Structure 1
Amino acid sequence: MTGQLSFPRQHARTQRFTLGAPRDYAVSPDGARVVFLRSPSGTDRAQRLWVLNLNEGREFAAADPSTLLAGADEELSPQERARRERSREGSAGIIGYAVDSAVELASFTLSGRLFVSELRAGTTRELPARGPVVDPRPSPDGRYVAYAAEGRLRVIAVDGAADGHGDRALAEPDGPEVTWGLAEFIAAEEMARHRGFWWSPESDRVLAARVDESPVRRWWIADPAHPDREPARIAYPAAGTPNAKVTLAFLGLDGARTDVTWDTERYPYLARVHWSAAGPPLLLVQSRDQRAQRYLTVDTETGATSTVHAEEDAVWLELFPGSPAWTPDGRLVRIADEGGARKLFVGDRPLTAAPLHVRAVLDIGEDDVLFAASGTQAHDIGVYRAWFRGSGDQGGWERVGERPHPTVSSAVRSGEVAVLSQASLERPGVRAEVVRLAADGSEKTLATIGSYAEEPVLTARPRLVLAGEREIPCAVLLPSGYTEGDGPLPVLLDPYGGPHGQRVVAAHNAHLTSQWFADQGFAVLVADGRGTPGRSPAWEKAVSRTIGEVVLADQVAALHALAGSFPLDLTRVAIRGWSFGGYLAALAALRRPDVFHAAVVGAPVTDLRLYDTHYQERYLGHPDEEPAVYATNSVLTDEGLSGAADQHRPMLIVHGLADDNVVVAHSLRLSSALLAAGRPHEVLPLSGVTHMTPQEQVAENLLLLQVDFLKRHLGMA
C-alpha cells in the first residue's frame, strides 16, 4: 500500500512522482484530438500512447508497449540509450513520438522497431524498417516516416511502397565517425536540440544534419564492477578541445542532395532549425564563444543562406525553446535581451517589457504568440498571450489559466485548443486541462486529462521568501509540527544554485525531498542565487568568469540573512547537491569551512577542463585563452585543499561510475587531492549508475545514506 511506504521508497519507485502523470501533448488542428503519453499507474515505468477524443468525450490507449512487444523486455541500442541520457529520460515504453501535420498518424520506437498509430481509429502496426530505429518522424502529409539507423537517414512509406520508395537510405555515412539525422552530444546536452532532421512542409525532402565526430577526442567509460566488459568509447568535447563538425543538407525523396552553406568556422554551433509553411528554413547559428549569433534563411534550391537578423552580447547569448520561428505572415519570432529585460519580439517590435522575463515560445497563432514567462516573482512561471495583430489588445499581453495563485505552467496549442499544464504550491502534481483560447482572449475549459500519479506520503510546506540586500529567492522548510519552543535547528542548504537550474518555484512536488530532509530534524534552505534563471539577464550573467565565487557568496548571504527570521543554528550547517549543486557543495566545504560543517558532494564538476565546450566556455571562456579563470573557479586548485587541519570539514562524495556527462574522473581527482592534503573523506561509488539515478534501490538508499552522514557529522541524535 502506498501509505505504508517511506518517502524515500515512494519517491524512488514513482520516479519522483512523474510516473502515471500525462505528458508530451499534441493537439490536432481541427481541435478534435489530444494525444499524450501516460503510464498506467504511478509505479509503472512503461508509457502508453493515449488519445482524448474531445468530440466524443472519451479517452483510449492507441498503443500499449506490453501488447506490441508481446510481454518481452525492451532492448535499447547504444544510440537510443544515449538519447535518453541526454534528455534525462528514466521511464520505459513509448518515451517519445512524432505526428504528421493533421495529428492523424504518430510514429515511435520500441526495442529499435518502428511503429505507427492511426490516431482516429486507435490502431497501431509495425513497419518493416531496418533498425535499430532512432527518432522516427512522419512527413507532414502522413505518407512517409523518416528515421535514423546505424548512421544513415532512411525513409519508409507508411503503406509499404508509396511511389515505389519503400524503405531506403536518403543519406549514407561517408566516414567511420559520420552520422546523419542525429543531434550531436553538445546539441542534445547543452542546446536542448534533440533532433537532427526536419521534413519540408511539402513532404518531398528532408533537411538533415551531418555530424562528423572524427575531430572529437575519445574517452573511455568503464564499469569496474564488470572487468570482463569492454569500456564504452565515447566522443566527448571537453572544454578547449575540438567539437564535432555539423553541417546540413537537403535530401530529396527522389535522391537529390543539396548542401547548405554558411560560415561554419565563425558560427560552428547549429543551435536551432525551424521549417514551416510560413517561410523558408530558418537556422540559428552561434559562434564558439556564444557572444555572436545569426538567424539565417536557407534557399531550398541552392542551399545558400542569408542573414535576416544578427545578435551580439558582451557576455553570452542565451538559447530559448521555440525560438526562432515564423509567424503565419512570415515575420521573425525571437526572444532577446534588451534594456535589462528578456523580451519577446515579432519582427523588430518587442511585444513584452519588464517585469515579464520571457522563457519560451510555446505556439504562434494567426494573431498572437503563446509564451512562458516569469513576472515580478521568479518562482511564478505563467503562460501568456501577446497579440501582434488582429483582435485582442493589439500588442498587449495577458496571462492564461489559473489565477491568482502562483504556478509553474506550460502549454501546447494548435488553433484555439490548448493543453494547459499547471503546478502550484497548494496541491501535489500537475493539473492538465484542455482549454479553448478564443481570439477575443476568452478561455473555456473543455476537459481535464486524468493523472494516475501517486499522492506523496508527505506534504511540502515551503515558505518562499527573499533574502538579504540582493533579495535572493529562497524556500525555507521546517520539520512538520515544529514549534518555536523546539529551539534552533541544524541547517541543511539544498541548492542547485547554477545556470538553468531554478529550484525555488511555486510547485509542491519540487520541494518534497527538501521537506523530507526537514522532517529528519533540519531547517532546510533552498536558495536561487545569481546565475539561476527566471529573474533578469543581469542576474543570470553575473556569474561570468567568476561563477564559483558568486554562487557560493549568494548561498552564504542567504543563510546569514535568514538567520534572524528562522530558527537556524549556525554552528551546525551542512550542504548537499548534485551535478552543479555537487560542485557548489564542494566549494562550500573547502572555501568556507567557517560557515559549513559538512557536505554531501554528488556527481560534482571538480576539474573544469573536463566538462564540455558549450557549457564551460559560455561561463569561463576558452581554457587556453583564460587559464587563470579555470584555475580560480576549479575545486581542485582551491587553496583550501592544503589548509590547516583544523579547517577540515567532513565530505561524502557520491558518483555514478557509468556517468558520461560528468565523468567519475571528477570525483576521483577530488578524492586524490583530498588524500594528498591529508583530509579524511568518504567516497560512495555507484556501479552502473549514470548522471541520473533512476534505479529504485539506488535512489532510495542515497537519501537514507545522506541523512545518516549528515546526522553523524552535525552531532544529531
Structure 2
Amino acid sequence: MTRQVSFPRQYARTQRFSLGAPRAFTVSPDGTRVVFLRSRSGTDRTGVLWVLDPASGREFPAADPAVLLSGAAEELSAEERARRERLREGSAGVVAYAVDSAAELAAFALSGRLFVAELRGGTARELAVPGPVADPRPSPDGRRVAYVAGGALRVADVEPAAGAAAGETADRALAEPDGPSVTWGLAEFIAAEEMHRHRGFWWAPDGESLLAARVDEAPVRRWWIADPANPDRQPAEVAYPAAGTPNAEVTLALLGLDGSRTDVRWDRGRYPYLAQAHWSAGGPPLLLVQSRDQRHQAYLSVDPETGATSVLHEEDDAKWLELFPGVPARTPDGRLVRIADEDGARVLVVGDRKLTDGRLHVRAVLDVGDGDVLVSASAGPDAEAPETGEAHVYRVGEQGAERVSQGRGWHSAVRSGAVCVLVSAVPERAGSTARVLRDGAEAAVVASYAEAPVLTSRARLTEAGARRIPCAVVLPTHYQEGDGPLPVLMDPYGGPHGPRVVAGHNAHLTSQWFADQGFAVVVADGRGTPHRSPAWEKAVHHDFAGATLDDQVEALQALAGEFPLDLGRVGIRGWSYGGYLAALAVLRRPDVFHAGVAGAPVTDWRLYDTHYTERYLGHPDDHPKVYDRNSLVTAEGLAEAADQVRPLMIVHGLADDNVVAAHTLRLSSALLAAGRPHEVLPLSGVTHMTPQEQVAENLLLLQVAFLKRSLGME
C-alpha cells in the first residue's frame, strides 16, 4: 500500500504546485501555434519548450533540455543565478525564451549556451557563441539573435554564411564594456527587482538596430553576502542600492548592425530612472522615465536618427506614480497606450482618450490590437458590486469594456490576433486551466501535468470592518458548528504588490493546511495591497507601520463576530513584507497578537533598496523620523508596549541578496538589548526564495510547532 505524501512534502516537492503547469504563453500572429513552457510532471523541475496546434490539439516539444544537453546536468553562471533570483524562478531547464515577430523561431539559454528552436517543425540546435549567454532574443525577422555575454551585447546569425565550416556561427559584439562595472543589454538590480523591467535591449522593428541600456554600477555601494556555514568561501560582492544611496547610472544608445552608435538623450537629472522601454511597428521607441522620488514621470518618444527625445505626456502625483505591466505601448496607428490614476480611479488611456472609468481598476495591459486593448482589471471603486479576490480579462475599445473571462476566479490572458490563451484559477478546482480561444470560442485546452493537492482548500472570501477589508477565512476541514472557538492564525502578506485574497483554490492551500492543524486562519488584504483603488494602495504613504497593522487588527476583530475566533490566542506569520508585518504585530500590538513567525523580514528600511523604499517612505535624509517610526530596530520602533513580551521566531536565509540577513541580525541585537526573548532560525545557503525541498517542507513543520507551543495548543 502506497503511503500518501504529506502536504508539506508535496508542497515543497512540486514547488507550490507550479511544476508541470503550462506557463509563459506566446501566440503566433497567424494563430497556428501556441508556444509555452511546461515540465513533464508535477515533480519535474526541468522546463521544456512546447508548441500546440490549436486546430488539431496536437502538442510537441520544440526544445527538450535532456536531449540538448545529452543528459548532462545544467550549469548556471553567477549572473544567471542572480537573474533567476530577481524573477523568483526556482525551476530548471528552459525557464525563459523569446520569439521573432512571426513566432517561428525561439531563442533561449541553457546551461549558459545559446540555442534556437524552429517552432513550426520542433527542431532545436545550438549556436556556437561566447558565453555564458544571458537573455537571448531573436530579431523580428528571425535572422539573428542578440544576447549578452561578459557584459557585452552581441549578435549572432541564425544561419551560417555560405562556405562557413560546420557549426560555425557568425557572431560579433555591438557594444562592449568600457570598464569593470559596466554592462550592456542587462537590467540593473533595481529595475529587475522593483520596476519589473527584466530586460536591457529592444530590437528595432526592421531588425537592423537595437535600443540598448548601458549600466554602470560604479556609484552603487558594495555589500558582501557571506556564507557563515562555509568560512573558507569568499563572500559574494553585491552592488546594492540601499535607500538614500546612489543608484547605477543607466543610459541608452541606438546600436546599428552596421557598427553605428547614437546615444539617446533625455533629462536624466530630472528623470534618472529608466522604468520601461517599448519599440514596435507602431512608431519610434517609447521610454517611460521617472524622477528619483517617483512623483514625476514622462513618456518620451525617441528619434532613431538623432537619439533626441520628445515628451509625449508628463504625469505628477503628490505621493507616487505606480508602474504597470504592458505599458507604455503604441497602437498600430501610433497612439500612446498608458494606465493612469485619474479622478480616484485607475484607468486605461489611449492617445488622449480615457477608455475606462471607476467601474474598473485596470491592473495591466495584456495586448494592443487593431481595434481594442486587452487588459487585466478588477472591480473599481465605482463598481456596482464587489468582487472580492477576483481579476478578470476585458476587451476595451471606443465603445466600452467587454468581459472576456467568465465566472468567479483569477483570470489572465495572452493574445495575438484572433487567438487568445485564457488562464483561469477558480475557488472550486485545484490549479489553473489554460483555454485556447479563437474568436471567443474554445479551440483547445493546454494540458497541465501539475499534481493534485492532497488537501482541498475551503477558503471563504468576505469583507471585514468599516473599511470593507478583503479577507479569506479558512477553518479546519472537519470543523463543525458547535466545536467552539479556535486559536487564530493571521496569514498575511499585507504590503504593496502582493495580493493574498485571491479567488483561486491553490492560493489558500497552505492556509488550509495550517487550519487543519487546529487554527482558524485569517488572510487580510488591508490598505497598501493592490487591485482595489489608488487611494487604497497609497494609504501607506509614509506609514507602513500604522496602516497595514491597523487593518490586520480591524479585520481580526470584525471577523470575530461571524467566525469562531478565539481572540485570546492569536498568532501571525508572514514572509518578506509579511515577515515585517508579523514582527511589527507582536512588538507593537502584544495586546492583540500573542505569537509571531517573521520570515525574511525587512526590519530597518534604511537597509532596503532605493526604488521600493523611497517610493513609500521618501528619502531617508529628508524624512528620518518616517524611517524611525516604521523601523523595528530603532528605539522609537521598540518603544511601544514594551511591558508585554510575546514569543517571536525570526527566520532568514543567509544567502538572501534582496532582504539581507543583516535585517534579522539587527532586530535580534535590538531585542536582546531591550531584554526581549526571541528565537532566530538561520537558513544556510538559502536566498529570499526557499526552493530547496527539505527547507521548504521543514519550515512549515517548524512554524506550526512553534505556534502551537506559543499559543498553548500542545
TM-score class, shorter-chain normalisation, is over 0.9
Residue in structure 2 matching 1:274, options 271, 278, 294: 278
What SS is found at the alignment partner of 2:376? strand
The aligned residue for residue 592 of structure 1 is: 589
- How far apart in 2 are the matches of 1:555 and 1:282? 41
- In the TM superposition, residue 56 of structure 1 has moved relative to its aligned partner by 3.5
The aligned residue for residue 427 of structure 1 is: 429
- How far apart in 1 are the matches of 2:483 and 2:54? 54
Deviations 1:611-668 (A, max 9, x none): 0000000000000011000000111125463677750000000000000000000000
The aligned residue for residue 382 of structure 2 is: none
Residue in structure 2 matching 1:365, options 363, 369, 374: 369
2:409 partner amino acid: T
- In the TM superposition, residue 175 of structure 1 has moved relative to its aligned partner by 1.1
What SS is found at the alignment partner of 2:540? coil
Contact 2:580 2:603 in 1 (8 A): yes
Residue in structure 2 matching 1:263, options 262, 267, 270: 267
- How far apart in 2 are the matches of 1:374 and 1:640? 36
Q: Within 5 Å, which residues of 2 pair with 1:52-451?
A: 52-161=52-161, 166-375=170-379, 376-388=386-398, 395-401=399-405, 403=406, 405-437=407-439, 443-451=440-448
Q: Does 1:476 align with 2:473?
A: yes
Residue in structure 1 matching 2:603, options 599, 602, 606: 606
How many residues were matched structurally? Answer: 704
- How far apart in 2 are the matches of 1:348 and 1:583? 41
Deviations 1:508-548 (A, max 9, x none): 10000000000000000000000000100000000001111
Deviations 1:475-494 (A, max 9, x none): 00000110122110000000
- How far apart in 1 are the matches of 2:447 and 2:56? 16
Deviates more, 1:105-114 or 1:49-58: 49-58
Identity %: 73
Contact 1:98 1:106 in 2 (8 A): yes
Contact 2:365 2:374 in 1 (8 A): yes
Runs of 4+ off more than 3 Å: 161-165, 638-646
Contact 1:530 1:542 in 2 (8 A): yes
Q: Within 5 Å, which residues of 2 pair with 1:309-708?
A: 309-375=313-379, 376-388=386-398, 395-401=399-405, 403=406, 405-437=407-439, 443-637=440-634, 639=636, 641=638, 647-708=644-705
Deviations 1:239-298 (A, max 9, x none): 000000000001111110000000111101101100001111000000000000000000
- How far apart in 1 are the matches of 2:181 and 2:541? 34
Contact 1:377 1:535 in 2 (8 A): no
What SS is found at the alignment partner of 1:430? strand
1:655 partner amino acid: H
Contact 2:25 2:36 in 1 (8 A): yes
- In the TM superposition, residue 680 of structure 1 has moved relative to its aligned partner by 1.1
Closer, same or farther in 2 for the Cα pair 1:361/1:163, shift >3 Å? farther
- How far apart in 2 are the matches of 1:258 and 1:491? 61
What SS is found at the alignment partner of 2:431? coil
Deviations 1:311-332 (A, max 9, x none): 0000100000001100111111
- How far apart in 2 are the matches of 1:3 and 1:133? 44
Closer, same or farther in 2 for the Cα pair 1:379/1:38, shift >3 Å? same
What SS is found at the alignment partner of 1:343? strand
- How far apart in 1 are the matches of 2:713 and 2:359? 44
Deviates more, 1:520-529 or 1:644-653: 644-653
What SS is found at the alignment partner of 1:499? coil
What SS is found at the alignment partner of 2:283? coil
Deviations 1:309-365 (A, max 9, x none): 010000100000001100111111100011111000111111111220000000011
- How far apart in 1 are the matches of 2:105 and 2:201? 18
- How far apart in 2 are the matches of 1:533 and 1:163? 57
Deviations 1:219-245 (A, max 9, x none): 000000111111000100000000000
- How far apart in 1 are the matches of 2:635 and 2:340? 36
- How far apart in 2 are the matches of 1:161 and 1:445? 44
Deviations 1:183-221 (A, max 9, x none): 000000000000000000000011100000000000000
1:16 partner amino acid: R
- How far apart in 1 are the matches of 2:256 and 2:363? 35
- How far apart in 1 are the matches of 2:675 and 2:577? 25
2:144 partner amino acid: Y
- How far apart in 1 are the matches of 2:10 and 2:679? 27
- In the TM superposition, residue 67 of structure 1 has moved relative to its aligned partner by 1.1
Contact 1:100 1:138 in 2 (8 A): yes
The TM-score with structure 2 as length reference comes to 0.97
- How far apart in 1 are the matches of 2:52 and 2:709? 52
2:44 partner amino acid: D
- How far apart in 2 are the matches of 1:155 and 1:214? 26
What SS is found at the alignment partner of 2:224? strand
- How far apart in 2 are the matches of 1:3 and 1:463? 30
- In the TM superposition, residue 72 of structure 1 has moved relative to its aligned partner by 1.1
Deviations 1:134-183 (A, max 9, x none): 00000000000000011100000001338999101000101110000000
Contact 2:620 2:627 in 1 (8 A): yes
Contact 2:631 2:637 in 1 (8 A): no
Contact 1:378 1:535 in 2 (8 A): no
Closer, same or farther in 2 for the Cα pair 1:543/1:581, shift >3 Å? same
Closer, same or farther in 2 for the Cα pair 1:162/1:189, shift >3 Å? farther
1:428 partner amino acid: A
Closer, same or farther in 2 for the Cα pair 1:638/1:592, shift >3 Å? farther
The TM-score with structure 1 as length reference comes to 0.97
5+ residue gaps, structure 2, are: 380-385
What SS is found at the alignment partner of 1:708? helix
2:419 partner amino acid: V
The aligned residue for residue 391 of structure 1 is: none
Closer, same or farther in 2 for the Cα pair 1:89/1:460, shift >3 Å? same
Contact 2:476 2:515 in 1 (8 A): yes
- How far apart in 2 are the matches of 1:606 and 1:680? 17
